Structure 1
Amino acid sequence: MTHLEDLPIRADLRGKTPYGAPQAVVPVALNVNENTHPIPEVVAHDIVARVAAAVIGVNRYPDREFTELRTALAGYLGHGVRPEQVWAANGSNEVLQHVLQAFGGPGRTALGFAPTYSMYGLLAAGTGTAWVTAGRDEAFELSPETAVAAVREHDPDIVLLCAPNNPTGTPLSLETVRAVADAARGIVVVDEAYIEFADPGSESALTLLAGRPRLAISRTMSKAFAFAGARVGYLAADPALVDALRLVRLPYHLSAITQAAALGALAHAREMLAMVDEIRGQRERISAELERLGFRPYRSGANFVLFGGVEDPHATFEALLARGILIRDVGLPGSLRVTAGTETETTAFLEAMAAFAPNRIEA
């Protein structure tokens, strides 16, 4: 049998492993930051009808410029964003890949702030872009001073800011985004995959777009829209930056079915986002209860909580899995991450975690 190492694979890809969280069929899956609430039935019926209508015409290529979808996404984003400022692809990972293909590549560098989303480094490697990371402040925060110092030290062609950050959940201030955008000579991408879960009153980096042609704001429908299986991500930026992404996209990269499904979801944005407040409430419940048990939950503006104070993360992960509860070991010492699910899922997780609590009192 031929093995991967027997093939003439690129030298810089040897020894690497594909991205992927552990997968298992369990009663309580809280490991990949999905929205665990199902799509409302009335919305699902409308999406199915739109997809069925699109299927009738799949003998023809879809709208290459996905004009109707871009218009709908611009309307959802608000902040004066126009359709010509919007780009979309099969998940925000593909959107970010387009950015790296257009503005990265051999001899160019992308900068991130570790720990952060692990796909950034993989996307950089896949496009031949050098990937460098700088550190964060205490408790995974990122101040304007720390971020700008890293930009000046590394002089990157692309800066990737995850806001809120994954896997830590840390919110990112507009002051930090503004400082980085003004200091960087290259492209600055603010990945707002979890922004809908931010505390009420939090401002999006969309407010900083005007007059900054090298700033891009990436979003996804996977999280708050409960649309992970549909694979729809998008970006807002200056029209010239969007034009650059056209140079590297594959022909007709967004299928007619994908476009139809996304339009259906956006037409029901209010219903699709109705569970966001509940998820935010479960996030706060998780943080409060874990702190009471003696763990250290970190500040989160996302739909998950990273918590420290875990004596043996791997053993805890395995013990929870044995009880049908799947969370995530993200490789940070003494820490684990859990998605804020439904009230029932959250209860199951918290009851199970009580057995590992530093503050647990033996009977």
Structure 2
Amino acid sequence: MTIKDIAKMCNVGISTVSRAINDDPGINQETKKRILKVIEEQNFVPNKSARNLKMTEAKTIALLIKGTNNPFFQGMLRIFEQELQKVEYSYLVYPVADDQDETAIAMELVQERRLKGIIFLGGLTEVSEVSLDKIGVPCVRCTVSNPSISVGTKDYAVSIDDRKEAYKAVDYLCKCGHKDIAIVCGREDDCSIGRMRQEGYMDALLDHGISYDPQLVLYVKGEVCEFSAQNGYSTVKALLESDKKVTAIFLISDMMAFGAYKAIKEKGLRIPEDISVIGFDGLDLTRFYHPSLTTVRQPCDQMVKASIEVLLGAINDGNTGEQRIFPAELIVRESVRNIE
């Protein structure tokens, strides 16, 4: 008698029998009872590898990342490793392409690797409770805010308020006397983080009585990665070649700002004497650029720790939907000039 025989007798897959044997919380309880009854009737004893399956994989989570080349996420991974070691959880990192279905990938990983939970870094900005149920284990969306989360759901999110923090950056530019302020966004059809940061930009202009100029709103073109230096370079280069009047540029990521530096200098302009630049994320590299970059720093340590805490609360205690939003910090350096 093998596990395959038990699966055939119960008309289920082998993985389902393994989940029943190892008391996986994601399995249907009626299915589990039926399988265990057959096991008892057949006096089936799982082999050593099956008995060890729970011990070796019960405390494993996955980090699904959309944007593995993003230094911001790379920095967060180091913190995840440190914090997960403290709670004696192992983890696997799985990169997700822009055109891949994260929910389908998560479901497959849960079945193959017997995960206890999943943390999504980037991506999965719009998700239904039905799709979360299909995954079968608790999932936390880190760096993604969702104002619609309500008590009783299975949706968990940890983030900053992207709209509010982008407002903070552009408000600072306005207070420095800038009125011709461009923004470098992601894709024009973006409905998530990029859109929220653009809305923060528009809010700040409105509050300072500055007219919104769509020609100063720059979107990524072609297949260029949204939050990349290449996007910042190509969009800012096109802006400067258009001779559109601009005294400051807000880029929705620090990597974009690095590309903007190159485009501005190639044009023979100076930062901040000719054009002020402000980024977003707070990468360590921003301190070492010349001039050092003014940016909005996200609280990575706090978001990572909160993501793990929320996930473990869902796994161990069955906590329901929760969102934690942390304040970011405007770091004023050398790349913005006061022109008043």
> TM-score normalized by structure 1?
0.33
Rg larger for: 2
